[in-house]
């Protein structure tokens, strides 16, 4: 199941390298260095998209499930009328006027192409209406459940496609025993998914597909047993007759058993190969197809162990990825909750995030929706600022008044239109823009999976300092060191398991002129958990190597639907160390608030676009400012805009070292030219 490293990707795909970084870093690390890698990332933003949830559940699902499903009361008398209203010209026109140009709607839920035929015709009519208004439509494809009561009528042998538990019993989707979970190694299941893709493209004329629940829990069917045995034998011929190891109920803090380590690697590779197979087929039918996945990432902690999901390996086969979790943007009890990390991972791999978050709601746990302009605006602004796809997962859900939808509430509709239209004003700047390359945080597969708690307690802590300390930063995955080109500072925090090649690449980065911040015991084990005789970074010295005490960065790690990270107690001193380390490769930093995020983009005319998002419920403090590097001292135009006021010119100080930011409510944009 090894990945095809010779595969040709479109321009926005990454070239994943392990251990070939020896000659990568002999370059001038001045701010905003341009490289082919930067150009590829810029190209991935070339099509501005603004999305909407458009009822991706067919009526059959609501009627079979019962209760409240995704904030939809399946037993309400208005259900059918509301569902019909989703497909009308009136709804399409309303969403187009609000700035939406991408919708995700129902297509294949797992009942079967024959059973769902009638509802697919409704989708086809919606596609025609949407195209007339410049809206692309993605069709929902369920990857983890087949409703056997209907599906067996179409595919009588489908029981052979289903995952098995350790006792050989059929596996279900969650606790719904009428939804069987298919095994992604079943060639019959894959063939059926390809048939669905063909129908969606050729008959329904979809612009793409939304693969839901496209992760994979551990399976113990005969296919998986045989395939794993072959995979292990190729890599470890010294192990006779390898067996699938038992699954632990909870994600382990550490994994030291070699067989379990390889089992997780194999599962992640297998899921990536499944995505590659579907991608290849879909693009053979329609080269510009849009592929969206929902592998439940980031959600909880050890996604590779629990769901076989390692974002770089599956993300390279997707254009878009849902971040469906409880990270509803806000500040609560001094903690800032955001989707920033999901967006940074996406930027590192080459897909774009669609945030579909749920608000905490006592009345409907896990399915709360925004109720105020601040909540609506913050969802849109966060995505716009972080390079994700702004939009709405709530606007077309029922208002519970006849066929009306939440977008029929004048206050919510006005707020959505206001913030989307403001975001769209930045499209001209962001087309082919590149995130500035100041600071990169390293993530390695082996560290995250095999030393999960230690890795996350330090990486989450340092990232929270970056987020709330006003720094522009990015992620680099250790199987793509090519991405480090142009960065001035690399932070390695809690990466206890690193290969020799990964350690070599880090040392080469320092030799090439980059600054390195080490937090904790990095590289004390190799990629398989074997202890090294000495730390591979002990000999690194000089004024560009910084070491932080792990306890100054460590945060508690809680396995939850929501990633809620407190600031480390000594975060201010940690932030100043980061600022000192990044001095020679520094573009901008926000000062004066720890509830406002900063993202910075190099725009086409050589200027800088800075997006600021306020997560607090009160306007930003008046003393807030953006500190700038010497690189920008020759610039003479400063323009600042918000959704609430006309664009204004700001006074230019000489030399241009910082910019005072006028107070704003949610979203502010500073352009320096």
Pairing of strands 391-392, 51-53: parallel
- Bridge partner residues of 340 (DSSP): none
Strands 146-147 and 176-180 turn out to be: antiparallel
How far is the C-alpha of 65 from the C-alpha of 53, rounded, in Å? 19
CATH classification of the domain holding 130:
3.20.20.80
- Asked if residue 12 belongs to a domain, the reply is no
Shared domain check, 157 and 300: yes
Same-domain status, 229 and 265: yes
CB 106 within 8 A of CB 95: no
For 296-321, what is the mean pLDDT?
94
Listed residues 585, 603, 635: the one ending a domain: 585
Torsion of CA 14, 20, 26, 29, to 10 degrees: 30
Q: Considering only 20-34, 141-155, 180-194, 430-444, which range has the smallest mean pLDDT?
A: 20-34
Minimum mean pLDDT among 19-23, 118-122, 276-280: which range? 19-23
Q: Is there a contact between 108 and 139 (Cβ–Cβ < 8 Å)? A: yes
166 falls within a domain = yes
Both 566 and 643 in one domain: the answer is: no
- Whether residue 22 has pLDDT greater than 60: no
Picking from 554, 569, 585, the residue at the C-terminal end of a domain is 585
Instruction: Name the domain count of the chain.
Output: 3
Query: Percentage of the chain with pLDDT > 70?
Result: 92
Q: Are 603 and 581 in the same domain?
A: no
548 preceded by cis ω (within 30°)?
A: no
Q: Where are the beta strands (DSSP E) in 373-420?
A: 391-392
Helix (H, G, I), strand (E, B) or coil at 226: helix
Measured CA to CA, the distance from residue 569 to residue 243 in angstroms comes to 46
User: Do residues 311 and 412 share a domain?
Assistant: yes
- The Cα 626–Cα 657 span in angstroms is 9
Interatomic CA distance for residues 366 and 356, integer angstroms: 12
pLDDT at 636 over 70: yes
> Are 143 and 231 part of one and the same domain?
yes
* pLDDT for residue 35 is more than 60: no
User: Is 562 within the bounds of a domain?
Assistant: yes
Tens-place pLDDT, residues 69-123: 889 999 999 999 999 999 999 999 999 999 999 999 999 999 999 999 999 999 9
Clarify whether residues 441 and 420 are in a common domain.
no
Question: Which of the listed residues 425, 456, 488 is the one where a domain comes to its end?
Answer: 425
Q: How confident is the model at residue 17 (pLDDT cuts 50, 70, 90)?
A: very low
- pLDDT of amino acid 46: 61
* 9 falls within a domain: no
Mean of per-residue pLDDT scores for the chain:
91
Same domain, 352 and 374: yes
Range of the domain at 639: 588-672
Annotate 354-374 with three-state secondary structure. EECCCECCCCCCCCECCCCHH
**CATH number, domain containing residue 482:** 3.40.50.880
Q: What is the bridge-based pairing of β-strands 51-53 and 102-108?
A: parallel
Helix axes 89-97, 117-132, angle to 10 degrees: 40
Same domain, yes or no: 126 and 149: yes
Residue 7 has pLDDT above 50, yes or no: no
Cα angle vertex 387, ends 384, 388, to 5°? Answer: 75
């Amino acid at each position: 199941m090894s990945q095809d490293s010779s595969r040709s990707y479109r321009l926005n795909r990454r070239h994943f390298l392990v251990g070939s970084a020896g000659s990568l870093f002999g370059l001038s690390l001045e701010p905003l260095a341009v490289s082919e890698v930067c150009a590829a990332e810029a190209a991935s933003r070339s099509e501005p998209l603004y999305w909407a949830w458009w009822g991706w559940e067919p009526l059959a699902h609501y009627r079979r499930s019962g209760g409240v499903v995704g904030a939809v009361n399946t037993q309400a008398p208005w259900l059918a009328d509301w569902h019909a209203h989703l497909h009308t010209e009136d709804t399409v026109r309303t969403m187009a006027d609000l700035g939406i140009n991408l919708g995700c709607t129902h297509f294949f839920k797992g009942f079967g192409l024959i059973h769902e035929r009638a509802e697919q015709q409704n989708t086809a009519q919606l596609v025609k209406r949407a195209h007339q208004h410049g809206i692309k439509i993605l069709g929902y494809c369920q990857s983890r459940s087949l409703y056997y009561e209907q599906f067996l009528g179409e595919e009588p042998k489908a029981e052979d496609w289903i995952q098995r538990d350790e006792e050989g019993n059929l596996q279900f989707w969650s606790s719904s025993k009428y939804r069987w979970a298919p095994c992604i190694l079943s060639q019959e299941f894959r063939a059926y998914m390809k048939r669905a893709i063909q129908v969606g493209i050729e008959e329904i004329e979809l612009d793409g597909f939304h693969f839901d629940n496209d992760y994979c829990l551990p399976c113990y069917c005969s296919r998986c047993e045989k395939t794993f045995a072959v995979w292990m034998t190729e890599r470890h011929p010294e192990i006779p007759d390898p067996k699938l190891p038992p699954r632990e109920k909870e994600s382990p803090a550490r994994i030291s058993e070699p067989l379990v380590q390889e089992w997780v690697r194999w599962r992640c590779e297998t899921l990536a190969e499944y995505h590659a197979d579907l991608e290849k087929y879909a693009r053979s039918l329609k080269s510009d197809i849009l592929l969206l996945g929902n592998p439940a990432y980031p959600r909880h902690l050890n996604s590779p162990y629990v769901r076989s999901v390692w974002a770089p390996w599956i993300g390279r086969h997707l254009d878009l990825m849902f971040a469906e979790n409880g990270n509803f943007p806000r500040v609560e009890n001094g903690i800032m909750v955001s989707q920033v990390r999901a967006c940074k991972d996406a930027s590192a791999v080459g897909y774009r995030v669609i945030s579909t978050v749920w608000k905490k709601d006592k009345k409907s746990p896990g399915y709360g929706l925004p109720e105020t302009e601040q909540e609506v605006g913050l969802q849109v602004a966060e995505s716009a600022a972080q390079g994700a796809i702004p939009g709405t997962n709530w606007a077309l859900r029922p208002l519970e008044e006849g066929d009306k939808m939440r977008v029929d509430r004048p206050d919510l509709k006005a707020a959505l239109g206001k913030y989307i239209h403001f975001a769209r004003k930045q499209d001209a700047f962001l087309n082919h823009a590149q995130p500035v390359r100041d600071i990169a945080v390293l993530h390695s597969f082996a560290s995250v999976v095999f030393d999960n708690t230690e890795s996350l307690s330090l990486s989450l802590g340092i990232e929270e300092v970056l987020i709330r300390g006003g720094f522009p930063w990015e992620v680099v995955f250790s199987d793509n060191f090519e991405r480090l080109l142009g960065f001035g500072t690399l932070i390695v925090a809690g990466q206890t398991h690193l290969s020799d090649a990964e350690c070599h690449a880090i040392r080469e980065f320092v030799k090439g002129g980059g600054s390195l911040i080490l937090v904790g015991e990095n590289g004390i084990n190799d990629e398989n958990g074997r202890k090294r005789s000495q730390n591979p970074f002990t000999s690194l010295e000089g004024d560009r190597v910084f070491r932080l005490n792990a306890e100054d960065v460590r945060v508690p790690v809680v396995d939850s639907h929501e990633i809620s990270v407190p600031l480390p107690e000594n975060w201010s001193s940690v932030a100043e160390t980061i600022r000192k380390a990044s001095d020679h490769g520094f573009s901008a930093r926000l000062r004066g608030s720890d509830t406002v995020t900063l993202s910075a983009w190099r725009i086409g005319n050589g200027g800088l676009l800075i997006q600021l998002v306020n997560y607090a419920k009160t306007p930003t403090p008046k003393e807030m400012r953006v500190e700038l590097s010497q690189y920008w001292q020759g610039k003479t135009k400063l323009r600042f805009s918000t959704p609430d006021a006309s664009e204004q010119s700001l006074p230019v100080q000489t030399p241009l070292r910082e910019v005072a930011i006028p107070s704003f409510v949610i979203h502010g944009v500073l352009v320096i030219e």
